[in-house]
Structure 1
Amino acid sequence: MIPILATLAGVIAVAWILAYHRANGIAWTLGLAAFAAYLTWFTSVPLGTLGIVWAAVAIFALLSTVKPIRRAIVTRPIFGIYKKVLPQISQTEQEALDAGSIWWDADLFTGKPDWAKLLAYPVPRLSAEEQAFIDGPVEELCGMLDEYRVHENMDLSPEEWKFIRDKGFLGIIIPKSYGGLGFSAFAHSEIVTKISTRSGAAAVTVMVPNSLGPAELLIHYGTEAQKNHYLPRLAKGQEIPCFALTNPEAGSDAGAIPDKGIVCKGMHEGKEVIGIRMTWDKRYITLAPVATILGLAFKLFDPEKLLGGEEELGITLALVPTSHKGVEIGRRHLPLGSAFMNGPTHGKDVFIPMDWIIGGQPMVGKGWRMLVECLAAGRSISLPSLSMAAGKLGSRASGAYARVRSQFKTPIGKFEGIEEPLARIGGYTYMMDGTRRMTMAALDLGEKPSVISAICKYHMTERMRTILNDAMDIHGGKGIMLGKNNYLGRAYQTIPIAITVEGANILTRSLIIFGQGAIRCHPFVLKEIRAASENNLVTFDAALFGHFSFTLSNAARSLWLGITGAKGVSVPGSPETKRYLQMMTRFSSAFALLADTSMFVLGGNLKRKEKISGRLGDILSMLYMASATIKRFHDEGRQKDDIALLTWSVNDAFFKMQVAMDGVLANFPNRFIAGVLRFLVFPKGLTLTAPYDKWGSRVAQILITPGAARDRLTAGAYIPRDENDVVGRLEFAMEAVIKADPIEHKIRAAQKEGKLPQRSVAERRLAALNQGLVTKEEYEHLLYTDRLRHDVVKVDDHPFDLARHSPEETQWQPPKTAASM
């Protein structure tokens, strides 16, 4: 019995080693041959059984090394079945899959990420010109802005509009050769982030022309004539662009837009030309009420075959001047809590010439691909930058307020109940900024990471929601009374806008992140799909057996790394991060195994299993964001003061990954396979916890204490050194309170000793001054601190009718009673 068990254990060990290291067919053949030789020479296995074993080894060797035979006997039947069960992919889905590029997200799908490559990615940096623009025009614009006044007027002031146009804010991404600023993606993000910390309305005004819109579409796809005409005018602010995609009948399902154009002949500038007669009904279009140039997405049809091709040509994009006959524009929507320009646009039987199609006639029907590719870049910058501003302002303001505001003679920031939301604010902000920075590096390398852009959009806007909720909880009544002294209320009101636009978050999480990532980023799936569509057996064979080896390897790796906790895995990095990279190697292997098994078992049904797909997307997202956070720590020189931020945020991501994996396994339809997967992924059970309280306390301490760590966390926010500014005042108040602490401590100590029997605080302070316990300078500082503290915690009140009428009309009168009538 013992020799049999020992033999079995040896076989399992050798097979596990081969699988773990993704051995090729020759290595497996040698291993099987060695096992057969062992049975032949060192055991008493019957000859008949030995013959069967050696025959099996020979067959395996033949199939694994002689590929033409393997293709004929094994692969061809599988290929036939695969083509039959392969789920149908719509044209819009196919174009989305083909658009953009893959980057670090693909490494995370391998189960063996190259961490050295991650740490070697370039650090995003501003050029001298970009830094000067941020220190100059951006700083000046922020100083001009008053978000409360913007909301009172429901628009930026004429001076602010002029400044934005004249200084080139609408041409950040336009190349210098066309008169634009030609800035990097990182500079674009830094500009939007800084403006967002001052005014959401102004940020959106700057953000939209530089995101998905006419400028970016023209840069990548426009004809030379279109570029030469429009780009200089857009760069100088002579044109204000908007782009119209969403129809009341088609929001997230953009492929179903009913807006259409018919190729026909018509009159343009006194001549009969071939053009398009368009009808559209669009809504939620940012800048539409003030736009001078309208980008339109519509389905194009050619019933008379005037272009000589198919009748249904597909989604097409065009640029139409808003002054053109038939264009209806100018009315406004009122987005929650924000004053940025947004509204509908309509048109019926509007005739345009063919050369108004972006890219001209060669780009007919390619609009969806164009949109998806541009969105892959724009979505990585716009809303993540807006979210980043909420994190930076939320961290700076909430920390300062929690230090200034006292209850029970103690700053509220020192209560554990307040430390908890402060830790989330700080930890989320640290991870979000790492994610933003690394993604900007990808964009500046020329990548268009479509999956990563979806990760950024979803998770950063969701974390913005949490940050602002936590900030409102910390501020209490200060946060809910609107007025000039409220720096959170409007941002809080606008949360649903960020959650909804540029791909609604529910859809992004449940369908896009993993649904697109599983095909685009997986080492073999897209190759298999393309081989099937091209009926290429050779390519399919290579991908299929590579896929088999990949899955087997991740199963072996997941089990071993789960047992050992990934200790001993060789990773680069620093002592502070090596353990985290080891754990992420384990999570990457487990994720790859879960993803593969889910796709294999559920097949096309996985697209409808949105909860499982969403959880798999969460795992991929946390892997990406934790990677970016570790890289940020290294890029910033492994600052000792930032270890608490690193530790809290990474452990929070690990815990969320564990929860998501457990959710996949608990709800996996095939319970037997779920049990096997649970054994492989969690051989020791669920061992990870949420970040420990001590790390949360240290993060909170960073937020309530002036210092380098707090400054790094909130770098790029607009924080004016001005006591008269509602945000700037917070900084002065926090510094004053901290300076006043030892003075107040002296007075309390004297009171305990019976030296200051006076009843009120003011009397005790004056007595302390008279007795020489505090200096005149210290006494005056206490009065200065009181004033600042009072100004910080106060909220606005308004006339009875909220200043809607003249003062004479707003005098409140008591209601008439029956006796006075």
Structure 2
Amino acid sequence: MISSLLLTLILVAGVIIFVPQVRRILISSRLLKIFRKILPHISQTEQEALDAGTVWWEAELFSGRPDWSKLLAFPKPKLQAEEKAFLDGPVEELCAMLDEWQITRELHDLPPHVWQFIKDKGFFGMIIPKEYGGLGFSAFAHSEVILKISSRSGTAAVTVMVPNSLGPSELLLQYGTEEQKSYYLPRLAKGLEVPCFGLTGPEAGSDASAIPDSAIVCYGTFNGNEKVLGMRVTWEKRYITLGPVATLLGLAFKLHDPDGLLGGQRDLGITLALIPTDTPGVEIGRRHFPLDAAFQNGPNSGKDVFIPMEYVIGGIEGVGRGWRMLMNCLAAGRSISLPATSTGGAKLATRATGAYSRVRVQFKQPIGFFEGVEEALARIGGHTYMMDAARMMTAGAVDLGQKPSVISAIVKYHLTERGREVINDAMDVHGGKGICLGPGNYLGRNYQQIPVSITVEGANILTRNMIIFGQGAIRCHPYLLKEIRAAGDLDTKRGLVEFDKALAGHFVFTVGNGLRSLMHGLTGGRFAKAPLNTDPEVQDYYSQLTRCSASFAFLADISLLVLGGSLKRRERLSARLGDILSLLYLCSAVLKRFNDDRRPPSDLPLLHWSMQDALYRVQQAFDGVLDNFPATGFTRRVLRFMVFPLGKPFSPPPDELEQKIATLMLAPGDARDRLTAGIYIPTAKDEPLNILEQALQHAVSCEATEAKLRTAIKSGQIPAQEEESIAAALKQRVITSTELEILKKMGALRRRVIMVDDFPSDFGSRSDAAAEAASPINA
């Protein structure tokens, strides 16, 4: 009797769950009504942001079962011959011309001959196809160029990157009319036009839907022609890079058509236009002063400026499509330029700090041998390794045709933040050498300018708390976007069918990831999917990332189920979930880089540190979600058991590993060269970085000689006073005359490295020549 009843209940449940027609009536129709109620209101700008770009590897990470063979099969980004020639030629020449101290302290701008060189050599046209007179470079080449320049001069890097990022060139390429492309792109490529783009205003900030800048469709007089259909535009913008010197202003504003002159709706939405800055009424030229940086940045405005409709990007077809255009074009700035500038600065800090730590001596030994400095060096090297891996993989994705909106937010936030950590540690190690500005300081301006990258293209607080998971959950989830679209379908019957399909898949997806999360937790991830034929020391990382992916997908679904639309307002919870997704992406990039580089054994300390540090951070992010999950204590315990059934498995990198990283940074070698590849290393004799490189070479070559001196001093064979000990060592043949000369050279180089710039008391009464002569780099 009982068995028959149980069988009947199972059959009924099976019919309800597995027969779509029944499931729709009894389950899906009811859930659809609830879903429509809890679904947050999505504004037009939010919807266009969600629709923008493409989804790539982040969707695999959101699946709970990433296919690692797919990741490793993506080609390694490579430079074409002409791209490499440009890096080895014009980029090297440009870097040799740059003196960041002169640029930032004296000129507050690039010198005129540098501006002309940039224009003449096509730096402004890297992304413009050859058919329009540009260089037609890949995204990876673009990234490499910006990386090298940023290791030399932040001012020059920003100047070059802006025309190749979000701005007129990118917008014209994707959305311009043929007439607009044919006229403007060759002029932009040759530097005949200097572009800028005005989006941010005093009141709206990052909230584009709130921009007060507006235009009215009307007839007016233009270039002597009467009755031209156009717009009267009023705007006020600020923080516009290249704005003070721009000849072509890209502008975002809300367009209104109160008289119906375009024949459609009255409020047409955000629209983009290109306006020559010599147009009557355009106010431009004043500058901001962002943290002692010298790149051109400033406000612009206009009141009732009349422009013809042909200035709208895309012509009449482009009216009202501005926000979609911007969202689709943001990838260049967020996924290429800003990660490249941060990585370039981090690589410079890595190479310089490792060398300085070996050359600078305190308490009779190089400071790099102190455990506290070793810890900082490990962070510097590990973060830089991961940053460079993510930079390259993301640029490679763009070259594969991707427009990764979620990934662009990930790399923009995490690479600029890690760049900040690297520069902070480098400054701590350098001490007074880092904080005293002057011609001999190769870090100070980098330290000052890192907040600029943190702030632009979406402030990092906004990006972390509202964009990465908020956008990623909808775009990357295999079913959520389908459910949202079905819920908004005006055809009720079709909407229910599509919602039912997505809901059924969503249920299986959530349950499957929950079970995988628990299973991987109970087995330590040993049976999680990992690629075959990989390095045995690395294979477990793939398994642990698969485990974390399953746990993340499960916890993300539970969060969406419990919180619904209110998750949009739970920014800290969203930020922690976004951190998990981001770190899984960064770890994927590290594993791909190691594989693409043919698994060099000397890079293993860097790989181990970056992976272990990131997995520990993933664990902390999970912890933060579980501790603050808005549910009962019992529910939290159940969720914690599903994610960490045997406790928390990950630990931060051990001291021994950090010592290995410090060791490879303290001496020349293949791993150090790979870690800092792509930066500009000057060869002029008086260049501070060149002096530091020479000092490092001599410090390593003198190591055995200095060890002999220490042994002789300890044994009492020679006196402890430095001058007497060296003379006595030579006399007693502890060292040779050749070794003595190398020691003297080392001493002179060490002094030049540790000295800092000083100035007259009024910081400027002497001539430039006298000030230059007083610099310690010329001592």
TM surpasses 0.5: yes
- Are 2:205 and 1:251 equivalent residues in the alignment? yes
Listed as ranges, the gaps of 5+ residues in structure 2 are: 772-779
Partner of 1:543: 502
Partner of 2:711: 749
Letter in 1 for 2:513: N
Q: Deviations over 1:477-527 (max 9, x none)?
A: 100101011111111111211111110000000000000000000010000
Could you tell me how far apart the structure 1 residues matched to 2:545 and 2:528 are? 11
- Are 2:186 and 1:227 equivalent residues in the alignment? no
Partner of 2:95: 142
Q: CA deviation at 1:705?
A: 1.5
- Are 2:531 and 1:577 equivalent residues in the alignment? no
Q: Deviations over 1:57-95 (max 9, x none)?
A: 222332344322222222112212212221110111000
- State the secondary structure of the residue aligned to 1:727: helix
- State the secondary structure of the residue aligned to 1:267: strand
Q: Deviations over 1:325-360 (max 9, x none)?
A: 111101000011310000000100000000000010
Change (3 A) 1:606 1:570: closer
- 1:696 pairs, out of 652, 658, 664, with 658
Letter in 2 for 1:137: P
User: 2:529 touches 2:542 (CA, 8 Å); kept in 1?
Assistant: no
Alignment of 1:68-79 (within 5 A): 68-79=21-32
Q: CA deviation at 1:312?
A: 0.5
Q: CA deviation at 1:806?
A: 6.8
Letter in 2 for 1:707: G
Q: TM-score, normalised by structure 1?
A: 0.91
The more displaced of 248-257 and 764-773 is: 764-773
Could you tell me how far apart the structure 1 residues matched to 2:751 and 2:615 are? 42
- 2:570 pairs, out of 603, 609, 627, with 609
Could you tell me how far apart the structure 2 residues matched to 1:227 and 1:570 are? 48
Q: CA deviation at 1:805?
A: 6.6
- State the secondary structure of the residue aligned to 2:4: helix
- Are 2:325 and 1:370 equivalent residues in the alignment? yes
User: 1:377 touches 1:449 (CA, 8 Å); kept in 2?
Assistant: no
Letter in 1 for 2:436: M
Could you tell me how far apart the structure 1 residues matched to 2:337 and 2:449 are? 15
- Are 2:81 and 1:128 equivalent residues in the alignment? yes
Could you tell me how far apart the structure 1 residues matched to 2:64 and 2:714 are? 64
User: 2:528 touches 2:544 (CA, 8 Å); kept in 1?
Assistant: no
Listed as ranges, the gaps of 5+ residues in structure 1 are: 1-46, 811-821
Partner of 1:771: 732
Structure with greater Cα Rg = 1
Letter in 1 for 2:332: A
Q: CA deviation at 1:767?
A: 2.7
Could you tell me how far apart the structure 2 residues matched to 1:496 and 1:150 are? 19
Letter in 1 for 2:204: A
Alignment of 1:620-659 (within 5 A): 620-659=581-620
Letter in 2 for 1:557: R
Could you tell me how far apart the structure 2 residues matched to 1:788 and 1:126 are? 36
Could you tell me how far apart the structure 1 residues matched to 2:295 and 2:413 are? 22
- State the secondary structure of the residue aligned to 2:228: strand
- Are 2:11 and 1:50 equivalent residues in the alignment? no
- Are 2:391 and 1:430 equivalent residues in the alignment? no
The more displaced of 504-513 and 562-571 is: 562-571
- 2:59 pairs, out of 106, 110, 117, with 106
Partner of 2:230: 275
Could you tell me how far apart the structure 1 residues matched to 2:614 and 2:714 are? 48
Alignment of 1:248-397 (within 5 A): 248-271=202-225, 272-397=227-352
Could you tell me how far apart the structure 2 residues matched to 1:719 and 1:801 are? 33
Alignment of 1:726-745 (within 5 A): 726-745=688-707
- Are 2:18 and 1:91 equivalent residues in the alignment? no
Alignment of 1:69-218 (within 5 A): 69-151=22-104, 152-218=106-172
- Are 2:193 and 1:239 equivalent residues in the alignment? yes
Partner of 1:721: 683
Could you tell me how far apart the structure 2 residues matched to 1:87 and 1:410 are? 61
Q: CA deviation at 1:638?
A: 0.3
Letter in 2 for 1:161: W
Partner of 1:449: 404
Could you tell me how far apart the structure 2 residues matched to 1:376 and 1:605 are? 28
- State the secondary structure of the residue aligned to 1:69: helix
Partner of 2:513: 554
Could you tell me how far apart the structure 2 residues matched to 1:806 and 1:120 are? 59
Could you tell me how far apart the structure 2 residues matched to 1:768 and 1:718 are? 40
Partner of 1:711: 673
- State the secondary structure of the residue aligned to 2:543: helix
Could you tell me how far apart the structure 2 residues matched to 1:722 and 1:413 are? 26
Q: Deviations over 1:120-150 (max 9, x none)?
A: 1110000011000000000110111111111
Q: CA deviation at 1:766?
A: 2.2
Q: CA deviation at 1:724?
A: 1.4
Could you tell me how far apart the structure 1 residues matched to 2:527 and 2:25 are? 43
The more displaced of 361-370 and 673-682 is: 673-682
Could you tell me how far apart the structure 2 residues matched to 1:804 and 1:301 are? 57
Letter in 2 for 1:279: T
User: 1:139 touches 1:718 (CA, 8 Å); kept in 2?
Assistant: yes
- Are 2:752 and 1:799 equivalent residues in the alignment? no
- Identity across matched positions, percent: 59
User: 1:515 touches 1:613 (CA, 8 Å); kept in 2?
Assistant: yes
Q: CA deviation at 1:242?
A: 0.3
Q: TM-score, normalised by structure 2?
A: 0.96
Partner of 1:681: 643
Partner of 1:12: none
- State the secondary structure of the residue aligned to 1:494: helix
Q: CA deviation at 1:713?
A: 0.3
Partner of 2:371: 416
User: 2:520 touches 2:527 (CA, 8 Å); kept in 1?
Assistant: no
Letter in 2 for 1:179: G
Q: Deviations over 1:573-631 (max 9, x none)?
A: 33122100000111001100110010110111101100000000000000000000011
Could you tell me how far apart the structure 2 residues matched to 1:159 and 1:637 are? 43
Q: CA deviation at 1:687?
A: 2.6
User: 1:404 touches 1:411 (CA, 8 Å); kept in 2?
Assistant: yes
- State the secondary structure of the residue aligned to 2:673: helix
Partner of 1:401: 356
User: 1:289 touches 1:332 (CA, 8 Å); kept in 2?
Assistant: yes
User: 1:337 touches 1:491 (CA, 8 Å); kept in 2?
Assistant: no
User: 2:281 touches 2:303 (CA, 8 Å); kept in 1?
Assistant: yes
Q: CA deviation at 1:106?
A: 0.4
Could you tell me how far apart the structure 2 residues matched to 1:806 and 1:493 are? 26
Could you tell me how far apart the structure 2 residues matched to 1:247 and 1:480 are? 34
User: 2:333 touches 2:457 (CA, 8 Å); kept in 1?
Assistant: no
- Are 2:522 and 1:563 equivalent residues in the alignment? yes
